[in-house]
Amino acid sequence: MKAIFPGAPADTDQPVLIGEAPEPEPADNEAVVAVEAFSVNRGETFQLDGGLARRWDGWRPGKDVAGTVARAAADGSGPAVGTRVVAHPPAHGWAERVAVPTTDLAELPDSVDAVTAAALPLAGLTALRLLRATGPVAGRRLLITGASGGVGHYVTELAAASGAAVTAVSATVERGAKLMELGACELVTSVEDAAGPYDVVLESVGGTSLPTALAALAPGGLLVWFGQASREPATLNFFDFFGGPNQARIQHFDYTTSDTTYGHDLAALVRLVAGGRLHPEIGSVRDWSRTADAIIDLRARRVRGNTVLTVS
């Protein structure tokens, strides 16, 4: 079968290559999904750069896929052959077929197409679990940095629908315009312009953004650190806390640790989309032969929202 392989990490013009890969050999609890669409996440572009430790020998990219079950799980779990699904495999999803544990997929209704579904898994799971980690947000002021990406869109819509007053930080007004439509109360183009104080800060940029956002917290507020898109280390000064925020809390977040299976939350995301309560923003849809171009555009921040490739 055809699949996408990493290119040379230093090759910015050809980050991936299409080649031949062996057919998946599923475990008893895994279904084989014929992939119709997949999305590209910024974290996967970092892995292609060789910049993350979670890349292993034989690794191929692909964590967000939608398609049809081509082979049901041998243990009888999961959906039957022919069922449309969205899935979150650990890797290898940028291919014609991929094996996925049945605990990590959810069925799709006719009203949710494969392109929309493929944009859900990693960004949607992160947003859903991120808000779960903050506790109730109704009536609370919430600041999210790096908000114009897929996670930021989902967080903004879900938090606003739950009663939070959301301030979104986007690099430009144009990139952040959709966030106001999704329920944000305020859009700023720099974290320095976020007045605060905020009960909750969701920080995904790192570098100088983190200490600046931390200073905007209300006394006893919570900052959840869930990314470092700038790829710059953050430095905190202990003595700055005496000037505020008093008794602030910083919490590291990793969406994989709260629950190691994804099917239940994927089903929740699908229900929200089908019910018109969650609206994935698809910024780019292309044939998977153009995956390299899509990655280059994503790295250059030329895409707002999710980047989805269709498997022809």
DSSP string, 48-63: HTT-SS---TT-----
Reported as a single tens digit per residue, the pLDDT across 146-163 is 998 889 999 999 999 999
Of 38, 41, 31, the C-alpha closest to 2 is: 38
Q: How confident is the model at residue 181 (pLDDT cuts 50, 70, 90)?
A: very high
Q: Is the pLDDT score of 259 beyond 80? A: no
pLDDT, residue 135, reads 94
Q: Is the pLDDT score of 19 beyond 80? A: yes
What's the farthest any 2 CA atoms get from each other in the chain? Answer: 61
For residue 174, give the H/E element and its range: helix 173-181
pLDDT, residue 13, reads 82
Residues 6+ apart with CB under 8 A from 175: 148, 301, 304
CA distances from 191 to 46, 105, 171, 236 (A): 24, 36, 9, 16
Type of residue at 247? Q
pLDDT, residue 26, reads 98
Mean pLDDT of the residues in the chain: 92
> Percent of the chain having pLDDT more than 70?
96
Q: What are phi and psi of 29, to 5 degrees?
A: -95, 15
For the chain, the distance separating the N- and C-terminal CA atoms, rounded to the nearest angstrom, is: 13
| 106 against 239, higher pLDDT | 106
> Percent of the chain having pLDDT more than 90?
76
- The strand pair at 105-107 and 84-87 is best described as antiparallel
The tokens for 8 are 């040379």
Reported as a single tens digit per residue, the pLDDT across 189-214 is 999 999 889 999 999 999 999 999 99
How far apart, in whole angstroms, are the C-alpha atoms of residue 112 and residue 139? 31
Q: What are phi and psi of 250, to 5 degrees?
A: -120, 130
Q: With contact defined as beta carbons under 8 Å apart, do 308 and 119 qualify?
A: yes
The tokens for 312 are 């022809």
The tokens for 225 are 């650190």
How far apart, in whole angstroms, are the C-alpha atoms of residue 164 and residue 186? 12
Reported as a single tens digit per residue, the pLDDT across 27-44 is 999 999 999 999 998 888
Q: How confident is the model at residue 53 (pLDDT cuts 50, 70, 90)?
A: very low
What the chain holds in terms of domains, given with CATH numbers, is 2-120+280-310 (3.90.180.10), 126-252 (3.40.50.720)
Determine how many CB atoms are found less than 10 A away from the CB of residue 18: 15
Q: How confident is the model at residue 137 (pLDDT cuts 50, 70, 90)?
A: very high
Q: How confident is the model at residue 47 (pLDDT cuts 50, 70, 90)?
A: confident
How far apart, in whole angstroms, are the C-alpha atoms of residue 81 and residue 162? 37
Reported as a single tens digit per residue, the pLDDT across 236-251 is 888 877 777 888 899 9
| 114 against 227, higher pLDDT | 114
